[in-house]
Amino acid sequence: MKVLVIGGGGREHAIAWKLASDREIEKVYVAPGNGGTALEDKCENVDLSTTEELINFAKNNDVYYTVVGPEDPLTKGIVDDFEKENLKIFGPCKKGAILEGSKAYSKEFMKKYNVKTAEYEIFNDIKRAVEHLKNCEYPVVIKADGLAAGKGVVICNNYEEGKYVLEDFMVLGSLNKAGKTIVIEEFLEGIEASILSVTDGNTIIPFISAKDHKQVLDGDKGLNTGGMGVIAPNPYVTEDVFKSFEEEIMYPTLKGLKSEKIDFKGIIFFGIMITKKGIYLLEYNVRMGDPETQAVLSLMETSLHEVIKNTLDGNLHKTKILWKNKVATCVVICSGGYPLQYKKNKKILITKPKEKVFIAGAILKENSLYTSGGRVLSVVAVDDTIDKSRKKAYAAIEHIDFHDMFYRKDIGKFK
Ligand code: AMP
Ligand code: GLY
């Protein structure tokens, strides 16, 4: 079988690699892919971007199914477009993708279906929003409604900070359309976890949990990023936490999807907060996480191809997903300056790394890899304990070098 993966980051490299490991898969096309998928066994990059190009490619190349990596095409309705052409595609329809695309919609959905989440109010009108801030307990969380590339959530410590953010989002339009509607939400104190899951709309199966490290500097300091590293499973997700998550968040979500008749054959990524008051849902994403995927798929024993095939056929209830009883450490290596300005086009030297390297922001030119993004690549090591796997991951980084590279030294180091 030939399959197509849409996207070009580290997540898509990991998805393509995992799919390619299945004997039934003959070829994984990746659009547009990156330097890593260019080199990966059985994978081939294809330079396509518009939905029309992708649909034509899938039709003309006997593509059995397509997997969508990032949220952008999902929120634009690529799944509906493929399905209109009778092409199989893994991901939610446009209506399902709003769970990630709109914070206001997702909070209303959570409330309607009793998914445990922080208290909130939604505003379209700045005056009313500012008035509300006067009566809030601080800190408070302000969230822009639409997709905002990670810039749409601000924790405000007092009224002045809150008012400034509201003006920035709602009046000055710093996030364009994204901040015209906002959610003001109760601040939750706790530890975050990422739990991916797969659903065919009738059955939902959680993946192994993961712990992202979002800040750019050691000790969770500095600016927010897409993710600087991951430990899976997340050591804070105990059996009790997992049980509460399933009962108070995951199953109510599935019930909501069914009641709303949302056609969802894909991934739901639950961003949760583990607090003293219980387990809360912070957000839905409707795609795999990056870099969560690199760590989580490294532990998946079952074939991802099998899981996707069964999901698309509505047979997820017959599927069991098995996991290695091990720990994965993923460390992301970035270009100096990330998440702000950084240089590109630096040659990457990798000398016999012992662990798996997933390429994110790098392209292949004349048989060498050159940086093309802020998060350049990640190294994933798997071993029996956090300690052993993180040591292996950091040892492998010794074999990687490019100008101005940096990475967090404390991935998986918990107090
Ligand atoms: P979100 O996109 O909703 O996941 O928010 C991005 C980040 O903001 C989360 O990963 C948390 O670190 C933080 N955050 C969001 N909502 C809350 C909340 N209610 N309380 C505390 N932190 C939050
Ligand atoms: N690593 C967080 C995300 O993919 O949204």
Q: What is the pLDDT of residues 95-116, one digit of tens each?
A: 999 999 999 999 999 999 999 9
Query: Are the C-beta atoms of residues 93 and 262 closer than 8 Å to each other?
Result: yes
Same domain, 196 and 310: yes
Domain co-membership, 358 together with 391? yes
Asked whether residue 99 is assigned to any structural domain, the reply reads no
For residues 175 and 200, membership in a common domain is answered with: no
Residue 64 sits in a domain whose CATH number is 3.40.50.20
CATH number at residue 345: 3.90.600.10
Reported as a single tens digit per residue, the pLDDT across 239-284 is: 999 999 999 999 999 999 999 999 999 999 999 999 999 999 999 9
User: How many residues make up the chain in this entry?
Assistant: 415
* Residues 336 and 262 placed together within one structural domain of the fold: no
Q: Is the pLDDT of residue 37 over 90?
A: yes
**Are 48 and 129 contained in the same domain?**
no
* Extended strands (E) in 159-301: 182-186, 191-199, 204-212, 215-217, 221-224, 229-232, 264-275, 278-285
Would you state the pLDDT for residue 259?
Answer: 98
Ligand 1 atom closest to residue 118's alpha carbon, by position in its atom list? 19
Domain encompassing residue 225:
191-318
145 Cβ below 6 A of ligand 1:
no
Asked whether residue 119 is assigned to any structural domain, the reply reads no
Q: Are residues 312 and 333 in the same domain?
A: no
C-alpha span between 101 and 180 (Å, rounded): 14
How many Å lie between the centroid of ligand 1 and the Cα of residue 407? 23
Q: Mean pLDDT over residues 313-322, rounded?
A: 97
Among 269, 283, 286, 358, residue to substitute to test ligand 2 (most atoms within 8 Å of Cβ): 269
Domain boundary residue, one of 90, 111, 145: 90
Distance of alpha carbon 154 from its chain centroid, rounded?
19
> Quick check: 10 and 375 in contact, CB under 8 A?
yes
Q: How confident is the model at residue 146 (pLDDT cuts 50, 70, 90)?
A: confident
DSSP label of 248: I
Check if 185 has its Cβ closer than 6 Å to any atom of ligand 2: no
Q: For 206-248, how does the pLDDT look when each residue is reduced to its tens digit (9 = 90+)?
A: 999 999 999 999 999 999 999 999 999 999 999 999 999 999 9
Q: What is the structure's pLDDT at 244?
A: 98
Report the pLDDT averaged over residues 8-31. 98
Average pLDDT over residues 323-332: 98
Helix 94-101 vs helix 103-112: crossing angle, to nearest 10: 100
165 with 249, same domain: the answer is: no
Q: How confident is the model at residue 381 (pLDDT cuts 50, 70, 90)?
A: very high
Could you count the other beta carbons within 10 Å of the beta carbon of residue 294? 35
Total domains in the fold of the chain:
4
- Pick the ligand that lies closest to the CA of residue 269: 2
For residues 374-382, average pLDDT:
98
Q: Give the chain's mean pLDDT.
A: 96
Using the 3D structure, point to which of 268, 295, 318 is the last residue of a domain.
318
Share of the chain above pLDDT 70, in %: 100
Q: Which residue is closest in CA terms to ligand 2's atom 3?
A: 289
The rounded distance, in Å, linking the Cα atoms of 250 and 255 is 9
Q: How far is the CA of 50 from the centre of ligand 2 (A)?
A: 24
* DSSP bridge pairs for 206: 197
The side-by-side arrangement of strands in the sheet containing 400-401 is 362-365, 368-371, 347-350, 400-401
* pLDDT greater at residue 149 or residue 296: 296
Closest ligand 1 atom to residue 280 Cα is 19
- What is the atom index within ligand 2 of the atom nearest the CA of 227? 1
What's the rounded Cα separation, in Å, for the pair 198 and 205? 5
CATH for 271: 3.30.470.20
Residue pLDDT, tens place only, 174-213: 888 888 899 999 999 999 999 999 999 999 999 999 999 9
| 141 pocket-lining for ligand 1 (C-beta < 6 Å) | yes
- Please give the pLDDT value at position 150: 73
Residue 56 and residue 153 share a domain: no
Cβ neighbours for 168, distance < 8 A, ≥ 6 positions apart:
174, 179
Q: Does 234 fall in a domain?
A: yes
Residues 277 and 162 in one domain: no
Asked whether the beta carbons of 91 and 199 are under 8 A apart, the reply is no
- 354-358 — which CB contacts under 8 Å span 24+ positions? 354/392, 354/395, 354/396, 354/399, 355/379, 355/380, 355/381, 355/392, 355/393, 355/396, 356/17, 356/298, 356/380, 356/381, 357/36, 357/396, 357/400, 358/10, 358/13, 358/14, 358/17, 358/36, 358/291, 358/294
In angstroms, what is the span from residue 130 Cα to ligand 2's centroid? 30
Whether residue 60 is contained in a domain is answered as yes
Q: Note whether 28 and 3 are within 8 A (CB).
A: yes
Examine the domain organization and report whether 302 and 400 are in the same domain.
no
Same domain for 345 and 312, yes or no, is no
Measured in angstroms, how far is the CA atom of residue 72 from the centroid of ligand 1?
20
